[in-house]
Amino acid sequence: MSELLDLAGILVFALSGALMGVRKRLDVVGMAVLASMTALGGGIMRDLILNVPPAAFQSLGYVLVPIAATAIVFFWHPQVARIMPLLLVLDAAGLGLFCAVGTEKALLYDLSPLHAALLGVTTAVGGGVLRDMLAGEIPTLLYDRQLYAVPAMLGSAAMAALFELDLHGWPAVLAAAVLAFGLRILAMKYGWRAPLASGVKPSE
């Protein structure tokens, strides 16, 4: 079940990466690279920091799903772009799932709650940072429009707190993921964003 949820999150992130490739007028190879980095980059960074073999290289599905997402966007990108509101909801679900799972994995490797939460955020947003950098964009993490990193931080913190309370397994992961998902959805609905420095007006 957990692997199916992982693959669903990977699919959504990969679709967003491939769509970025279309917007940047990249060829199919460039689209596949952005799709793969968006979907797998955060998890790979987490596992390298934990000094364990990346999960992305231990399951064929983790490699095939970004390729499938690239093919879908390559042939049907106008249709995929039209369902972007739905994809944003699924993206929020992937964000919540990845921050919770990443934090739990770090805790199981005996990291402190603070370091585990930071690694959970890395799992959730690291792929998007790599995508933006490869595409020549300022990473959205650095100007957190409609709160993306903040929900991941709170979801990761909740996962670490539950773990410290001896609440492990999928119920804890689900609770932390739902918290991050809910905050992300509310941020999209109400336009919440992280505060700017005093006296600085937001750009439109």
Whether pLDDT at 204 is above 60: no
Among 79, 82, 66, 81, CA closest to 31: 66
CB-count exposure of residue 63 (10 Å: 0-12, 13-18, 19+) = middle
Mean pLDDT of 84-106: 88
pLDDT number for residue 26:
94
> Could you report the per-residue pLDDT of 4-38, keeping only the tens digit for each?
777 888 888 899 899 989 989 999 999 999 999 99
Q: Where are the beta strands (DSSP E) in the chain?
A: none
> Could you report the per-residue pLDDT of 144-190, keeping only the tens digit for each?
666 888 999 999 999 999 999 998 888 899 999 999 999 999 998 88
Element (H, E) at 21: helix 2-23
Please state, in angstroms and rounded to a whole number, the distance separating the CA atoms of residues 37 and 13: 9
Q: Which residue has the higher pLDDT, 107 or 143?
A: 107
Please state, in angstroms and rounded to a whole number, the distance separating the CA atoms of residues 177 and 42: 16
Q: For the chain, which residues make up each domain, given as ranges?
A: 2-190
> Could you report the per-residue pLDDT of 39-62, keeping only the tens digit for each?
999 999 999 999 999 988 888 889
Question: What is the Cα 36 distance to its own chain's centre?
Answer: 12
Give the 3-state secondary structure of residue 54: coil
Concatenate the DSSP letters of all residues of 70-95 into one string: HHHHHHHHHHHHHTHHHHHHHHHHHH
Whether pLDDT at 67 is above 90: yes
Please check whether residue 122 is in contact with residue 103, taking contact to mean a CB–CB distance below 8 angstroms.
no
Please check whether residue 117 is in contact with residue 107, taking contact to mean a CB–CB distance below 8 angstroms.
no
Q: Residue 26: which region, alpha, beta or left (left: phi > 0; alpha: psi -120 to 50)?
A: beta
> Could you report the per-residue pLDDT of 149-160, keeping only the tens digit for each?
899 999 999 999
**pTM: predicted TM-score of the whole model, two decimal places:** 0.87
Whether pLDDT at 2 is above 80: no
Tokens of 65: 């799903």
Q: Which residue has the higher pLDDT, 115 or 5?
A: 115
